[in-house]
Amino acid sequence: MVSEAGDVKSFLAQQHPFNHLTESLLDFVSTNIQVAFSKSGSEIPLSTTDKNEQLAGIIIVRSGSMEIRSHHGELIDRLSSGDYLIPEVLTDGEGHNPQVVVLEDCLYYELSNYAYQSLKSSSQEFSSLSSPEISNESDSAEDNNQGSGQSTYLNQYIKETMSSSVVCAEQSISIRKAAQMMTEFRITSLLIMDSEKLVGIITDRDFRTRVLSKAVADTEEISHVMTPNPMCIDEHSRLHDAQLTMMSAGIHHLPVLRDEKPVGVISLSDVLRANNVEPLSLAKGIKSAASIKELSIAAKGVPGLVIKLIERNDRAVEVGEIITSFADAITRRLLLLAEEKFGPRPCDYAWLAFGSQARQELMLGSDQDNALILPDGIGDKEASYFKEFCEFVNAGLNECGMPYCPGEIMASNEKWRLSLSGWCECFSNWIEEPSPKALMFSSIFFDMRHIAGDSKLTENLQNYVLSRAEKNTIFLALMSGNSLLHSPPLGFFKTFVLENDGDHNHTLDLKIRGTIPIVDIARNYALSASVAEFNTVARLKAIKKLGIMSNEMADSLVDAHDFIAGIRLHAQAEQYRQQIKIDNHLDPVQLSPLVRHQLKAAFHQVREAQAAMKVRFSGGLL
């Protein structure tokens, strides 16, 4: 006797969720499989009036494809080889069965309901399947991203990490008394109160920089040397938020509030303890770099850190924020170095980031997109100062792993080093006379974020742009039409559409095909409603709150965005490990069937959102 496993078992052994089964359970499943065939156009019954006919517990597509529609006719899912459906899960609360129609001649496996039920009781994989698997793809995508229940440090809450006792003092006490209290309680920061209200903070470092070095008498009131109105954080925030706040503000202590009252302090070292990867030490290296060379050495640590974050299964959105925070820190450091080199700035300026850096969605290998706003009416001397200044910073960013922008969207390009009124004119032209090129610029420049300098310049420009764009429905229609050019890479739902240019045969471009469509949707809606957010997730949440996109669609786009970004990051991590050039291309063959399945579902959601956007904005053209 030879193996009787046959095709059925070897096929199932490669498919999720059957690939998680033990050998004996897999044998159990394959002996309980019945094989059936339905030609295209026929319906697969999920309910029966015939008592003799046994209904299947699971249906697994072997070849061909089928689609599931709710009893209202709404498309629920499309299945192709390796996909499965569970009739029990699909039946809605009122006992309505969805309709399953074969699209292409379909060979499928049925697992008897009896076998499915006993499988559910003996396999965790299967018991978890009884929660909706089809209509709620995003949930499983999220579960997958977050790993099997292990909390990553970024998802920990501040409450778990902060110092549990809080030491406060009245603002009228003397400097000496404050120092004594801190010594007594062995703390490095003291919260200063005006009766119940937090009014300031004093830290070890403040005693050095504001008391001793300035020879202030220790009898003076502490309120004279404290940091008034300190930045605070709510106790329900996540560690990640605390880290970002401290990193961007360059501070080491954050008071933690509950209902506006301090309940603890979280410090840099608390974060470091919770996080053995130490992005902060890297941030420190960036902040203290005294030359481009030192800075570029520090920046070399960024990819390694990012890989560690990815390996720990941190959420992609957060990894993007961390990469961005490094890019911001490097930019700020370079701006300071530039002033050291060329002398102090002759007038104010605002340094802007565009594109993914503006959206806080940088990935590894992203190129730089930046520009400068200058005040109106500056002279030639100032202009030539900023020419050198910007060339220095752009060259520095290039050294530090953010390559020159191939489209020359950089502050060193005089086209993008304009006065505030010059910028306003520029945007106004794009909005009023949207040529294809203007639309391309718009999709880059409408995502802008202030990085350094005078934030008023940036705010003025942002407000101007939002007010102009919101009113112009033709512009919005064209933007929406333009973004429909980037479609999710699904062929007639069965296969991925793969890139076919020279270097990247048979790969998916996850950036152009996956991320950009979502980013575009979020931007277009945000522009139409004057939403000032620049981050895609923040935009989607704001749009949802305003009620101009359905809750379901906004939520599923957020999930799809995170999921696609996660796959991009994992693919990049793999490229980094193999020491090949980091880009956004991925061969779908490298993905597991489950991930492929989820990716298709994510693309599917993007496509639906695109269709909805088209309907919403095409009005201006009609």
Partner 1 sequence: MYRRWKFQPKARGTALQSLYEQPIIKSAKGFSKTRFLVVDCEMSGLDSNTCQLLSIGWVVIEHGRIINSTGKHLLIHADRGTGDSSRIHGLLDNRIAGANSAASVLMLLIKQMQNSVLVFHHAPLDMKFLQKASIDNFRCPLIFSYVDTMEIERRRIQMQGKSSSLRLAQSRQRYGLPDGSQHNALADAQATAELFLAQVSYLKTGEKLSLSDLGLRCAF
Q: Footprint of partner 1 on this chain (CB under 8 A)?
A: 1-4, 6-8, 10, 30-39, 42, 53, 62-64, 81, 104-105, 107, 109-110
Least Å distance between CB 87 and partner 1?
A: 16
Q: Which residues contact 612 (CB under 8 A, 6 or more apart)?
A: 549, 553
Q: Residues 437, 397: contact at Cβ < 8 Å?
A: no
**Residue ranges with strand state E in 18-116:** 33-38, 43-44, 56-69, 75-80, 84-85, 99-112
Least Å distance between CB 126 and partner 1?
A: 18
- Helix 551-577 to helix 316-342 angle, to the nearest 10 degrees? 70
81 or 144: CB nearest partner 1: 81
Consecutive H or E run containing 396: helix 380-399
108 or 534: CB nearest partner 1: 108
In terms of DSSP bridges, do strands 370-374 and 417-419 run parallel, antiparallel, or are they unpaired?
parallel
100 or 169: CB nearest partner 1: 100
46 or 393: CB nearest partner 1: 46
31 or 172: CB nearest partner 1: 31
Burial class of residue 310 (count of CB atoms within 10 Å of its CB; 0-12, 13-18, 19+)? buried
107 or 290: CB nearest partner 1: 107
Least Å distance between CB 67 and partner 1?
A: 16
The alpha carbon dihedral of 69, 70, 71, 73 has a sign of: negative
5 or 167: CB nearest partner 1: 5
Distance CA 274, CA 156 (A): 9
Count of residues for the chain?
Answer: 622
The CA–CA distances, whole Å, from 426 to 12, 373, 384, 415, 417 equal: 59, 12, 21, 10, 12
Nearest CA among 510, 547, 524 for reference residue 610? 524
Least Å distance between CB 84 and partner 1?
A: 16
Least Å distance between CB 37 and partner 1?
A: 4
Least Å distance between CB 124 and partner 1?
A: 25
Least Å distance between CB 60 and partner 1?
A: 12
In terms of DSSP bridges, do strands 197-203 and 189-194 run parallel, antiparallel, or are they unpaired?
antiparallel
Q: Which residues contact 283 (CB under 8 A, 6 or more apart)?
A: 247, 325, 326, 329
Least Å distance between CB 510 and partner 1?
A: 28
60 or 531: CB nearest partner 1: 60
Distance CA 336, CA 509 (A): 37
Least Å distance between CB 113 and partner 1?
A: 14
Q: Residues 551, 292: contact at Cβ < 8 Å?
A: no
In terms of DSSP bridges, do strands 417-419 and 261-267 run parallel, antiparallel, or are they unpaired?
unpaired
Residue with tokens 């004594």: 180
Least Å distance between CB 596 and partner 1?
A: 17
4 or 380: CB nearest partner 1: 4
Least Å distance between CB 10 and partner 1?
A: 7
9 or 240: CB nearest partner 1: 9
10 or 124: CB nearest partner 1: 10
Least Å distance between CB 23 and partner 1?
A: 16
DSSP code, position 67:
E
82 or 517: CB nearest partner 1: 82
Distance CA 408, CA 420 (A): 20
3 or 164: CB nearest partner 1: 3
Distance CA 361, CA 563 (A): 13
44 or 373: CB nearest partner 1: 44
Least Å distance between CB 106 and partner 1?
A: 8
CA angle 303, 304, 307 (to 5 degrees): 85
Least Å distance between CB 7 and partner 1?
A: 6
Distance CA 441, CA 207 (A): 50
Distance CA 109, CA 479 (A): 46
Secondary structure tally for the chain: helices H, strands E: 26, 19
Distance CA 63, CA 79 (A): 10
Residue type, 576: Y
